[in-house]
Amino acid sequence: MAKPQSYENHARFDPLVHFSTMPVLLINLGLSIYYTLHNWPNHNKLALWWIVMSLTLIVMNVAARTAALRAQNRVIRLEEKLRIASLVTASELVELDSLTMEQYIALRFASNPELPELARRAVREKLTGKQIKESVVSWRADNDRV
């Protein structure tokens, strides 16, 4: 049985990206540089093109990962705005409208009873995501984020 999620173990890796795709792309870049250095000036245009394509594939991989995280962040922000709206009054909601994306993402770990006060603290004290997560008493796991 998996250990319950907490501040200490909430960070996760995406195995396909972190342990498969990116290492292969980095090895490919290393091999392309090695090939270029050891076969210069023979095939210099092809070798340089291999380096360019290797870098392009790495940039594409990072861009795809970043786009997925950005989409997840937007969904988390929406979910947390709705959750907060259901737990506070309309006048309190105006104050909490200044929460940042980072704060919303961290607040997702707070249980419903502690969310309103922690959100108010986040706004008033300008807490970072890390500070918010460290302040959570009753951890609400998010096992879907990668």
The answer, yes or no, to whether residue 19 has pLDDT greater than 90, is no
SS3 49: helix
Q: Could you report the per-residue pLDDT of 23-76, keeping only the tens digit for each?
A: 999 999 999 999 999 988 888 899 999 999 999 999 999 999 999 999 999 999
pLDDT surpasses 80 at 9: no
Tokens of 101: 């994306």
pLDDT value for 53: 98
- Average pLDDT on 8-25 reads 82
Is the pLDDT at 7 greater than 90? The verdict is: no
Percent of the chain with pLDDT over 70: 96
State the Cα–Cα distance between residues 137 and 12, nearest whole angstrom. Answer: 21
The structure's pTM equals 0.80
In contact, 132 and 122? CB cutoff 8 Å: yes
Confidence tier at 6 by pLDDT (50, 70, 90): confident
Q: How far apart are CA 144 and CA 80, in angstroms?
A: 15
Instruction: Retrieve residue 90's tokens.
Output: 């309309």
Determine the pLDDT at residue 126.
Answer: 97
> How high does pLDDT run on average in the chain?
91
**What's the average model confidence in pLDDT over 82-100?**
94
Cα distances (Å, whole numbers) of residue 91 to 24, 96, 104 = 52, 9, 19
Say if CB 107 and CB 132 are below 8 A apart.
yes
Instruction: Give pLDDT, residue 2.
Output: 64
